[in-house]
Amino acid sequence: MDYSTSVDAECCHRMRHLATELSRTQQALRSALRLRRNLMLTTQMSIPEYTDDKSIMQRGYVEGSKASKGSDTKEWGGRVALWGVVPLWRASPPPDTILTLRTPTPSDCWPFSGSYGEVIIELAHKAKLNYISVEHVRPDTARSAPKNFVVYGIFENNTRLETARGTYTYNKPAKQYFPLSDRNLPVKSVAFKVLSNQGNPKYTCVYRVHLYGSDVNKQKLLL
């Protein structure tokens, strides 16, 4: 076989492979842009005013937590990768978005596929928790908002204890508080499991989930 012919064939093969991977990357980028537009369209409404329950806030906002998706949960959008290998950027905000204290704006949320999913909130220290708050933008119109959910306290041996079942109601304030049971039992993390949403069949958007309680190590309220 002529050496130059084999080199040319190999180069052509590699070029076709690169062109195919480039096309896949472009499709992924277009999907990411469509995701952003969809999130904006489903929540593109003015944000209602709400007032925090001061008696709950005074119990202490738990700081320093981290969030990650549950094992049976698929993120909506995920990551965009070059050639399917090299990660470029996230097509949607990360789970930690739900823990931020900034006022939520449309698409500033963590989305997951479907209406059933879970996020794990890992505490910086063991804490005794009293309340959990769930917040969305325009819950009266956003079908992607969570609806029914269950909260589990997770102990050091990774056993779970159900501490609350609640319903995020569309005709109430954007930020809603729910009491937790077994408040004297310190936990190391919390599982927030969404059982259904307000009607969006494709994805659910979790904007903010905040925990309130006291740090066991410091023995004082987390303010």
Q: What tens digit of pLDDT does each residue of 92-149 get?
A: 789 999 999 999 888 899 999 999 999 999 999 999 999 999 999 876 668 999 999 9
Q: Is the pLDDT of residue 210 over 90?
A: yes
The predicted pLDDT at position 161 comes to: 95
Q: Is the pLDDT of residue 30 over 80?
A: no
C-alpha–C-alpha distance, residues 115 and 200, integer Å: 7
Tell me the C-alpha to C-alpha distance, in Å, between residue 173 and each of 48, 96, 141, 176: 8, 23, 12, 6
Cβ neighbours around 15 below 10 Å, total: 10
Angle at 131 between CA 130 and CA 133, to 5 degrees: 165
DSSP strands (E only) in the chain:
66-69, 79-82, 86-90, 110-113, 117-135, 148-154, 160-167, 175-179, 187-194, 203-206, 208-215, 220-221
The predicted pLDDT at position 107 comes to: 85
Q: For a pLDDT cut of 90, what percent of the chain falls above it?
A: 45
The predicted pLDDT at position 204 comes to: 93
Domains (range + CATH), the chain: 41-45+56-221 (2.60.120.260)
Q: Is the pLDDT of residue 3 over 60?
A: no
Higher pLDDT, 49 or 97: 97
The predicted pLDDT at position 60 comes to: 78
What is the average pLDDT value for the chain, to the nearest integer? Answer: 77
The predicted pLDDT at position 220 comes to: 43
The predicted pLDDT at position 112 comes to: 93
- pLDDT-derived band at 87 (thresholds 50, 70, 90) equals very low
Q: Do 123 and 187 contact (CB within 8 A), yes or no? A: yes
Lowest mean pLDDT among 13-22, 83-92, 108-117, 176-185: 83-92
The predicted pLDDT at position 47 comes to: 35
Q: Do 59 and 33 contact (CB within 8 A), yes or no? A: no
